[in-house]
Amino acid sequence: MRKALLAFFLLFSFNSYGAGAKIDIPKYDWSWKGFFGTYDRASAQRGLKVYREVCAGCHSMNYLAYRNLGDLGFSEDHIKAIAAEHLILDGPDDEGEMFERDGIPSDQFANPYPNVKAARAANNGAYPPDLSLIVKARPKGADYVKALLLGYVDPPEDMKVPKGQHYNKYMAGNLIAMTSPLSDGLVDYDDGTESSMDQMTTDVTTFLAWAAEPSLEDRKRMGLKVILFLIVLFVLAYISKQQIWRDIKH
């Protein structure tokens, strides 16, 4: 019965949510937009570095395996080296003991916390969400992710920011548990690109967008072929239809 009341309440409870101020998320240019868009590999590779050095301290990416990085243009040896930098809990072995070993390409990305409770305990009760699907799991996707990372500004004077919370102009309700994770020059890029805030947020968002939808390039390539094929077929069917119906007196 309580559950029923809750559900009933939910049906009519949109007032409180609809009333909040509308937050406009800026639009950015992304390499994978449009009919022929592809993920900018160099940017995504830099984004992986941002993820591994900054985000991975708290955020898991459970649906990604190290082998998937081949899609981003990393060589097999490079992927082996990346995987080997992480300790993976394996087992039980023949003695029934769990043991740690170096990661291999077929392992899923190592999780920063053993479980959700450990993650909450380390983060003032907030649970850092898994990032594998974050770009698809938010309205406005990539634009939102980049905007959020750039959205740490000083709060309005009349606003009290509670302890353990931070002001972010793009977060729903403007309060977020995560501190601003990036600052100019934080990551030392291997290819010599200057690691400005704008560059790092673009790179990490490109990486996360790829992680959320690795099939995007295959999909667009196939889509073009399928649509062209259907159009040709449609033209042929149309000509056939005219031919077949020609003798029908109207």
Partner 1 sequence: MSSDQLQGYKKTLNSPYTGIKGWIDSRLPLIRMMEAEYLKFPVPKSLNYFWSFGGIAMFCLIGLILTGIFLGFHYKPSAEDAFDSVERIMRDVSFGWLIRYLHANLVSFFFIATFIHIFRALYFGSYKAPRELVYIFGLTMFMLMMATAFLGYTLPWGQMSYWGATVITNLFSAIPVVGDAILQLLLGDFTVGDSAVNRFYVLHWLLAFAIVGLVVFHVITLHMTGSNNPTGSEPQSWDETVSFHPYVTIKDLNAALFFFIIMAFILFYYPNILGHSDNYIKANPMITPAHIVPEWYFLPFYAILRAIPDKLGGVIAMFSSILALGLLPWLDTSKVRSCLFRPIWRYCVLLFAVNFLVLMYVGGKPAEDIYVLISRIGTAYWFLFIFVLAPLVGFLETPRQPLTITNYLQSKKA
CB 232 within 8 A of CB 226: no
Among positions 211-240, residues that touch partner 1 (CB under 8 A) are 212, 214-215, 218-220, 222-224, 226-227, 230-231, 233-234, 237-238, 240
Judge whether 195 and 184 are in contact, CB under 8 Å: yes
CB 100 within 8 A of CB 87: yes
CB of 12 to partner 1, least distance (A): 5
List beta partners, residue 167: 175
Question: Which part of the chain contacts partner 1 (CB under 8 A), choosing from 1-9, 47-55, 72-80, 187-195?
Answer: 1-9
Provide the minimum distance between the beta carbon of 133 and partner 1 in the complex, in angstroms, as a whole number.
Answer: 5
CA angle 45, 49, 54 (to 5 degrees): 145
Among 26, 35, 153, 187, binds partner 1 (CB under 8 A): 35
Stretch that binds partner 1, among 7-15, 39-47, 86-94, 99-107 (CB under 8 A): 7-15
CB of 172 to partner 1, least distance (A): 7
Residues 156, 245: Cα–Cα separation, whole Å = 71
The reply on whether position 3 binds partner 1 by CB under 8 A is: yes
- 80-109 residues in contact with partner 1 (CB under 8 A) are none
Q: How far is the CB of 201 from partner 1 (least distance, A)?
A: 20
Q: Which residues of 25-56 are buried (b: 16+ CB within 10 A; e: fewer)?
A: beebebbbeeeeeebbebbbbbbbbbbbebbb
Query: CB count, 10 Å around CB of 101?
Result: 13
- Restricting to residues 45-64, name those near partner 1 by CB under 8 A: 63
Q: How far is CA 231 from CA 63, 126, 155, 237, in A?
A: 37, 51, 54, 10
The residue ranges that bind partner 1 (CB under 8 A) are 1, 3-4, 7-8, 10-15, 17-18, 35, 63, 68, 129, 132-133, 136-139, 141, 172, 212, 214-215, 218-220, 222-224, 226-227, 230-231, 233-234, 237-238, 240-241, 244-245, 248, 250
